[in-house]
Structures are given as structure tokens and as C-alpha cells.
């Protein structure tokens, strides 16, 4: 398709350089534009298909990695992911964890429920709170 257009362009260039004048009809110009538009659309479709192929490959690779990670977790016997409730008081105070604190101890000291603290802060393992960690204490005083 391009070679035909290139040949026509070369012929026209040769004629102009040799002093020959050639009139181009509106129909010829429209045909050339139509051919060029068709070539551009074809190229765009090809590029789109190539891009989709690359993306599909990347998604497949990520899916395999995700499945491998899930399988690994299943084989290791890890606990299932924690599910947190939104059913806790939305008013409360902030508290910075001190050395020796536990969720239960903080709850008792501040007049809150341990489960509310766990849910509000999405604490997967209450035994692993960190000194200096700031917690929201729902209903705390």
C-alpha cells in the first residue's frame, strides 16, 4: 500500500523536477487522502492490538503471582484474614501505646471495649501493638 503511494509520489516528483506539469484531479486527491486515512486506521488498530496483548500478558503474570501467594498462605496454615466490624462508637480519644500496654489493659484503663479498639484500628493481632503507636479508643474517657 505504501509502496504504491511512494511510487506515485516519486513519479510526481520526477515530473515536477523535469519541468513537466501535471494536474491532479479532486478525485485523485480524495483517493489519496482516503488511502492515507485507511493506512492510519489500520496502523492504529494494529498498535491497539499489540498493547492489549502486552497488558493481557502482564495481567496473566500478576494473576499467577497472586495465586502462588494465596497457595503459599494456604499451605502455611496462616489464619484467615481478619474481618473488622464498623459497629463501634465513632466518638472517642487518641491514645499512644506505652511500654507494657495491652489492648485489654488500655480498654480497661480508658473505659472502652477491647473489641471496639480492635475494630476501630483494624488490629489483626492484638498482641502485636507497638510502643508509640497511636490508637483511636472508641468511647474512651
Backbone phi, then psi, for 137, in 5-degree steps? -110, 100
Q: What is the mean pLDDT of residues 95-104?
A: 96
pLDDT: is 1 or 122 the higher one?
Answer: 122
From the list 128, 141, 139, the residue with the least C-alpha distance to 91 is 139
Q: What is the 3-state secondary structure of 101-139? A: CCHHHHHHHHCCCHHHHHHHHCCCCHHHCCCCCEEEEEC
Neighbours of 110 (CB within 10 A): 17
The whole model's pTM is what?
A: 0.45
Question: What does R_g of the chain's alpha carbons equal in angstroms?
Answer: 35
Q: Which residue has the cell 494536474?
A: 23
pLDDT in tens, 17-57: 765 555 678 888 889 999 999 999 989 988 999 999 999 99
pLDDT in tens, 54-98: 999 999 999 989 888 887 777 776 555 678 888 899 999 999 999
Cβ neighbours for 87, distance < 8 A, ≥ 6 positions apart: 119
pLDDT at 60: 92
Cβ neighbours for 89, distance < 8 A, ≥ 6 positions apart: 116, 138, 139
pLDDT at 103: 96
Distances (CA, A) of 3 to 9, 28, 92: 10, 17, 76
pLDDT at 111: 94
pLDDT at 56: 92
Amino acid at each position: 500500500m505504501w509502496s504504491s503511494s511512494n511510487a506515485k509520489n516519486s513519479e510526481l516528483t520526477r515530473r515536477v523536477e523535469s519541468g513537466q506539469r501535471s494536474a491532479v484531479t479532486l478525485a485523485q486527491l480524495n483517493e489519496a487522502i482516503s488511502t492515507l486515512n485507511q493506512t492510519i486506521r489500520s496502523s492504529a488498530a494494529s498498535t491497539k492490538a499489540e498493547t492489549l496483548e502486552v497488558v493481557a500478558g502482564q495481567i496473566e503474570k500478576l494473576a499467577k503471582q497472586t495465586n502462588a501467594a494465596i497457595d503459599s498462605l494456604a499451605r502455611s496454615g496462616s489464619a484467615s484474614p481478619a474481618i473488622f466490624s464498623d459497629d463501634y462508637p465513632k466518638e472517642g480519644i487518641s491514645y499512644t501505646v506505652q511500654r507494657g500496654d495491652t489492648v485489654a489493659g488500655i480498654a480497661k484503663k480508658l473505659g472502652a471495649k477491647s473489641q471496639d479498639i480492635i475494630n476501630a484500628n483494624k488490629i489483626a493481632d492484638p498482641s502485636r501493638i507497638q510502643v508509640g503507636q497511636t490508637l483511636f479508643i472508641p468511647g474512651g474517657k
